[in-house]
């Protein structure tokens, strides 16, 4: 079986196991709805400030919440890897000819898939609140950006899981990166309202790439070239973190 076949087999395994956890499914679907409803209420008046490209904060916020949901679930993706490590599942995989990269990519694809599903929920709730999110093209870009940022951070998170192998360390790392990724981005606030130095730094933030791509329809003047660039950067980011996680496998195995 080739690398893609193995990745799909392992992707189906994690999806099947997740689908057997009704509580997880419940939270996966409710959480993004909850965030969108909550934030859109809390920040209702924020568009009175200048710098927002649209009058409706919901329209502004929906892509942001989709991305935020994706990057949070991506950051935590390593927890599943730690569980597999603890239960000896990974060691069993390692004694088969299965590619290490397929073990990692099965989980990365899963995170991307789940993030895309969650983004879809956000878009539906947004629609119910009156946000069109740029029509079909807008929806497709938001789904792609959400899936990619979820997958990319999942690669990083799985790598960290293989290096630390402890839930506590994994939680510490996920917490440590989450808020900076959020604050060095325009998820909740207009770009023009972010202090200059933070705005500069945010250019290196993959989450910001995802937000910029996803929010193109409410930011006048965004060209398709820019959207393509951001999505392309996210593809590169995902490939890089996937490679990182695969490398972490070698590091992990050296310690056995």
Partner 1 sequence: MDAVVVSGLEKTYGKDVRALDGMTFSIPEGQVFGLLGPNGAGKSTTVRILVTLTRPDGGTATVAGHDLAREPDAVRRAIGYVPQASGVDREATGRENLVLQGRLQGMRNADTDRRAGELLELFSLDEKANALVRTYSGGQKRRLDVAMGLMHRPQVLFLDEPTTGLDPEARAAMWDELARLAAAEQLTILLTTHYLEEADRLAERVAIVSRGKVVVEGAPDALKRDLRGELVTVDLGSSASDGAAKVVEALPGIDDVLAEGQRLFARVDQGAQAVPAILGALDGAGFPVAAVTVSRPSLDDVYLHYTGREFRSDDEAGK
What is the contact surface with partner 1 in residues (CB under 8 A)? 1, 6, 9, 13, 16-17, 20, 87-89, 91-98, 253-254, 256
Nearest to 158 by CA among 235, 79, 232, 230: 79
Taking the complex as a whole, how short is the minimal distance between the CB of residue 98 and partner 1, in angstroms?
4
What is the C-alpha separation between 232 and 79, in angstroms, rounded? 27
Rounded Cα distance, 38 and 139, in Å: 22
Judging by beta carbons within 10 Å of its beta carbon (0-12, 13-18, 19+), is residue 117 exposed, middle or buried? Answer: middle
| Distance of closest approach, residue 109 Cβ to partner 1, in angstroms | 16
| Complex with partner 1: residue 1 or 198, whichever CB lies closer | 1
Q: Considering beta carbons, is residue 80 or 242 the nearer one to partner 1? A: 80
Question: Based on CB atoms, which residue is closest to partner 1, 6 or 75?
Answer: 6
CB nearer to partner 1: give 93 or 244: 93
Cα gap 76→174, rounded to integer Å: 6
3-state SS class at 205: coil
Query: Is the distance from CB of 59 to CB of 53 less than 8 angstroms?
Result: no
3-state secondary structure 212-251: HHHCHHHCCCCCHHHHHHHHHHHHHHHHHHHHHHHHHHHH
Whole-number minimum distance, CB 202 to partner 1, in Å?
Answer: 39
Per the structure block, which two tokens stand in for 240? 């890089």
Q: Of the candidates 109, 139, 137, which has an alpha carbon nearest to the alpha carbon of residue 122? A: 139
What is the rounded distance in angstroms from the CA atom of residue 55 to the CA atom of residue 63? Answer: 15
Q: Which is nearer to partner 1, 111 or 205 (CB)?
A: 111
CB of 166 to partner 1, least distance (A): 17
Question: Is 223 or 255 the residue whose CB approaches partner 1 more closely?
Answer: 255
Q: How far is the CB of 7 from partner 1 (least distance, A)?
A: 11
């Amino acid at each position: 079986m080739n690398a893609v076949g193995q990745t799909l087999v392992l992707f189906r395994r994690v999806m099947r196991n997740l689908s057997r956890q009704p509580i997880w499914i419940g939270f996966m679907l409710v959480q993004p709805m909850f965030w969108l409803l909550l934030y859109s209420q809390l920040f209702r008046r924020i568009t009175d400030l200048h710098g927002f490209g649209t009058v409706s904060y919901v329209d502004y916020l929906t892509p942001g919440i989709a991305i935020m949901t994706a990057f949070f679930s991506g950051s935590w993706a390593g927890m599943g890897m730690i569980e597999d490590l603890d239960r000896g599942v990974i060691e069993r995989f390692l004694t088969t000819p299965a590619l290490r990269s397929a073990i990692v990519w099965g989980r990365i694809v899963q995170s991307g898939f789940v993030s895309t599903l969650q983004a879809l929920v956000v878009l539906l709730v947004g629609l119910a609140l009156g946000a069109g999110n740029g029509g079909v093209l807008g929806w497709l870009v938001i789904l792609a950006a959400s899936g990619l940022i979820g997958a990319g951070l999942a690669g990083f998170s799985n790598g960290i899981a293989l290096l630390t192998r402890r839930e506590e360390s994994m939680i510490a790392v996920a917490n440590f990166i989450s808020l900076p990724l959020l604050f060095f981005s325009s998820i909740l606030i207009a770009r023009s309202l972010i202090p200059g130095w933070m705005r500069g730094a945010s250019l290196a933030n993959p989450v910001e790439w995802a937000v910029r791509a996803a929010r193109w329809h409410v930011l006048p003047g965004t060209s398709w070239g820019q959207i393509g660039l951001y999505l392309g950067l996210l593809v590169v980011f995902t490939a890089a973190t996937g490679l990182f996680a695969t490398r972490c496998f070698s590091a992990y195995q050296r310690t056995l």
